[in-house]
């Protein structure tokens, strides 16, 4: 079966971001960008499905600027067969991205679409669910185990109190949680080979999708800073401070 | 303004997170209806009817909603939601699961994890693991929103007397089915609602050593959390994880033991009122957010702390 994997180019998770002085957003100039960590897990799961003989072809897709080609090349180096870039310079909201992905899903007709559960920049946790709604497919969010069995897929999900397993009819949408797998690194020969794999670029207009949004960002601020704390020298002093100064115990 | 709040529950008990969501609805202002969708969940509807400030309870009691499968419940919420200006749910794994699906069915954007209401159409929410706070404005006819519980003080669970109205609609998309679940058993308070949280990290070294924290937590009436490192190492189950991808907590007191304080962990606990860090590395980033830091070996400090409480 064909598996579609959606990936996103985001600020590297180790970067401590700074809010711009004019409060228009976060300063992304000259900041290291990477593939969203949850998307790496999605790519890894697709590759493992292929290694198990379940998946026959893996298509990586992203919506983003021209530079997002780097993340698609990474996905190709990890084992995706070909890639699609939906090129858009605008910062799009999840619904618009879900609509663009839906257009790609309609064209590619995958049996399984794997996304990360959330992008670490917007922290929205929406796109997979929205894509499932627009496609009319079942969804298995926050997956920690995925087992394709014939015409359905069993997904174990991380929920607040523990784990839940659901069975979904294929085609279905799965979003990955951290525990699903440990993504591999791309080897140098594979990075070289990935440069020759096909990468198609389309525009939102080509897909006939409007990316207009009803949502606008008014401002972005730094969170309130915590006042500096103190170091105590002993457990006695700590207990005293908690009892008499902070009065929390 | 008419607001629909989706109740969080397990078919027998109303989850306290619902009270924080109602508080957010009150900050928006208007009539507040609560939808209780599940199977055999009449007791939940009765509990919801007592929430202060609620106008009406909609009870959709049907086998199709038993496990709140998003394929089914999103159809129900989208159908009922057309009559409302706002649809709110807690930013729990349930709310996060079905609400974006509802938003897409209604063809509107969703606003995730709000921590403050500026006005009926403007909200604050954290982005970049809590390192920036965005103020967002929505022009959508129906505003679909998940609410971060720690951003709003819970409304009173008693005092209201809303009427319960049965909803006949039974939406079954026939796409998915519930197979089973494994819930972690714990006698300690729930992590997300606890007044005191004691968390352990990689510094605990193994799962057995978490006994030190359980024992301290029991003395304090606290919940026990963990960093991702402790979860990945298999010390504790992953529903104990506090952080960007785990639970977001904001207790009165957070005690971080053997946790270095990575950005992703801080995202889950830095709104705690008082933070205590116990770590033997005095350079650990956790000390930059801790109100009280103790540079010490946790294996000596934690039992000593417990003894002196």
Percent of chain A with pLDDT over 70: 100
Query: Is the CB of B305 less than 8 angstroms away from the CB of A154?
Result: no
Cα separation, B270 vs B289, in Å, equals 7
B206 is in an annotated binding site: no
pLDDT of residue A226: 86
Topology annotation, domain B196-308: Rossmann fold (3.40.50)
Query: Is the CB of A221 less than 8 angstroms away from the CB of B133?
Result: yes
Question: Per-residue pLDDT tens for A167-194?
Answer: 999 999 999 999 999 999 999 999 999 9
Distance in Å, alpha carbon of B79 to nearest chain A alpha carbon: 14
Question: Residue A242 has what DSSP assignment?
Answer: I
Cα separation, A167 vs A241, in Å, equals 52
pLDDT of residue B194: 92
Topology annotation, domain B2-166: Rossmann fold (3.40.50)
Query: Is the CB of A249 less than 8 angstroms away from the CB of B220?
Result: yes
Chain A residues inside the 8 Å CB shell of B131: 16-17, 26, 222-223
pLDDT of residue A228: 80
Of A117-121, B68-72, B182-186, B224-228, minimum mean pLDDT range: B182-186
Mean pLDDT (chain B) is 96
Q: Which of residues 113-132 of A touch B (CB under 8 A)?
A: 117-118, 120-132
Question: Per-residue pLDDT tens for A132-173?
Answer: 999 999 999 999 999 999 999 999 999 998 999 999 999 999
Cα separation, B216 vs B97, in Å, equals 34
- pTM for this model (two decimals): 0.95
B21 is in an annotated binding site: no
Question: Residue A48 has what DSSP assignment?
Answer: H
B197-207 average pLDDT score: 98
Band (A91; pLDDT cuts 50, 70, 90): confident
ipTM of the complex as predicted: 0.95
Mean pLDDT (chain A) is 96
| Neighbour count for residue B265 (Cβ, 10 Å) | 27
- Report the top-level CATH class of A2-245: alpha beta
Which residue of B104, B131, B140 to mutate against A (max A Cβ within 10 Å)? B104
B20-32 average pLDDT score: 97
Query: Is the CB of B132 less than 8 angstroms away from the CB of A220?
Result: yes
Closest-CA residue of A relative to B91 is A125
Of A74-88, B3-17, B177-191, minimum mean pLDDT range: B177-191
Q: Beta-strand (E) ranges in B91-195?
A: 110-114, 116-119, 122-127, 132-138, 143-147, 163-166, 176-183
A220-249 average pLDDT score: 92
Band (B112; pLDDT cuts 50, 70, 90): very high
Cα separation, B81 vs A44, in Å, equals 38
Q: Residue B43 — φ and ψ, nearest 5°?
A: -65, -35
| C-alpha torsion sign, points B182, B184, B185, B189 | negative
pLDDT of residue A63: 98
pLDDT of residue B192: 85
Question: Per-residue pLDDT tens for B294-308?
Answer: 999 999 999 999 999
Question: Per-residue pLDDT tens for B252-296?
Answer: 999 999 999 999 999 999 999 999 999 999 999 999 999 999 999
Distance in Å, alpha carbon of B80 to nearest chain A alpha carbon: 17
B68 is in an annotated binding site: no
Closest-CA residue of B relative to A157 is B181
Confidence check: pLDDT of A225 > 90: no
pLDDT of residue A90: 86
Listed in sequence order, the residues at least 6 apart from B212 whose beta carbon sits closer than 8 Å to its beta carbon are: B204, B298, B299, B302, B303, B306
pLDDT of residue A249: 83
pLDDT of residue B184: 84
Q: Is A238 on the interface with B (CB under 8 A)?
A: yes
Cα separation, A123 vs A121, in Å, equals 6
Helix (H, G, I), strand (E, B) or coil at A243: helix
- List the domain boundaries for chain B: 2-166, 196-308
Q: Residue B243 — φ and ψ, nearest 5°?
A: 155, -170
User: Rounded to the nearest 10 degrees, how much is the dihedral formed by the CA atoms of B137, A142, B89, A35?
Assistant: -10
Listed in sequence order, the residues at least 6 apart from B300 whose beta carbon sits closer than 8 Å to its beta carbon are: none
Domains B2-166 and B196-308 share a fold: yes
Cα separation, B60 vs B40, in Å, equals 10
pLDDT of residue A202: 97
pLDDT of residue B19: 97
Query: Is the CB of A223 less than 8 angstroms away from the CB of B181?
Result: no
SS3 of B142-170: CEEEEECHHHCCCCCCCCCCCEEEECCCC
């Amino acid at each position: 079966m064909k598996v579609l994997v959606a990936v996103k180019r985001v600020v590297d998770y180790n970067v401590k971001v700074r809010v711009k002085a004019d409060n228009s957003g976060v300063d992304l100039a000259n900041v290291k960008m990477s593939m969203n960590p949850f998307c790496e897990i999605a790519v890894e799961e697709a590759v493992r499905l292929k290694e198990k003989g379940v998946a026959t072809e893996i298509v990586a897709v992203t919506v983003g600027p021209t530079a997002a080609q780097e993340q698609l090349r990474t996905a190709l180096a990890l084992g995706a067969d070909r890639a699609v870039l939906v090129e858009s310079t605008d910062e799009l909201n999840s619904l618009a991205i879900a609509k663009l992905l839906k257009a790609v899903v309609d064209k590619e007709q995958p049996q399984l679409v794997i996304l990360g559960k959330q992008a670490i920049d917007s922290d929205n946790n929406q796109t997979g669910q929205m894509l499932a709604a627009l496609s009319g497919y079942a969804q298995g969010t926050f997956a920690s185990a995925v087992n394709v069995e014939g015409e359905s897929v069993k997904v174990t999900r991380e929920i607040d109190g523990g784990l839940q397993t659901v069975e979904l009819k294929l085609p279905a949408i799965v979003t990955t949680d951290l525990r699903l797998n440990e993504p591999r690194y791309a080897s140098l020969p594979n990075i070289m080979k990935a440069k020759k794999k096909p990468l198609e670029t389309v525009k939102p207009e080509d897909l006939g999708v409007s990316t207009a949004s009803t949502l606008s960002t008014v401002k972005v601020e730094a969170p309130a800073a915590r006042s500096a704390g103190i170091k105590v020298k002993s457990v006695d002093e700590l207990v005293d401070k908690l009892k008499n100064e902070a009065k929390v115990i | 303004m008419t607001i629909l709040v989706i109740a969080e529950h397990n078919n027998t008990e109303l989850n306290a997170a619902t009270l924080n969501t109602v508080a957010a609805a009150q900050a928006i202002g208007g009539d507040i209806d609560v939808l209780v969708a599940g199977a055999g969940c009449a007791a939940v509807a009765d509990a919801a009817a007592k929430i202060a400030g609620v106008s009406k309870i909609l009870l959709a009691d049907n086998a199709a909603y038993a496990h709140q499968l998003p394929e089914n419940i999103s159809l129900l919420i989208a159908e009922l939601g057309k009559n409302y200006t706002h649809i709110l749910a807690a930013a729990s794994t349930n709310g996060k699961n079905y609400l974006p699906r509802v938003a897409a069915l209604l063809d509107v954007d969703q606003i995730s994890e709000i921590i403050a209401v500026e006005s009926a159409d403007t909200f604050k929410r954290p982005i970049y693991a809590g390192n920036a706070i965005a103020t967002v404005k929505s022009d959508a006819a129906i505003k679909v929103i998940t609410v971060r519980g720690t951003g709003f003080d819970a409304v009173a669970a008693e005092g209201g007397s809303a009427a319960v109205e049965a909803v006949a609609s039974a939406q079954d998309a026939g796409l998915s089915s519930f197979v089973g679940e494994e819930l972690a058993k714990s006698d300690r308070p729930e992590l997300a609602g606890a007044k005191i949280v004691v968390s352990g990290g990689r510094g605990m070294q193994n799962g057995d050593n978490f006994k030190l924290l359980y024992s301290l937590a029991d003395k304090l009436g606290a919940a026990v959390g963990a960093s991702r490192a402790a979860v990945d190492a298999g010390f504790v189950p992953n529903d104990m994880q506090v952080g960007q991808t785990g639970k977001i907590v904001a207790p009165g007191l957070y005690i971080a033991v053997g946790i270095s304080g990575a950005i992703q962990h801080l995202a889950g606990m830095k709104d705690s009122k008082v933070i205590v860090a116990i770590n033997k590395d005095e350079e650990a980033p956790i000390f930059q957010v801790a109100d009280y830091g103790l540079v010490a070996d946790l294996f000596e400090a934690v039992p000593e702390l417990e003894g002196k409480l």
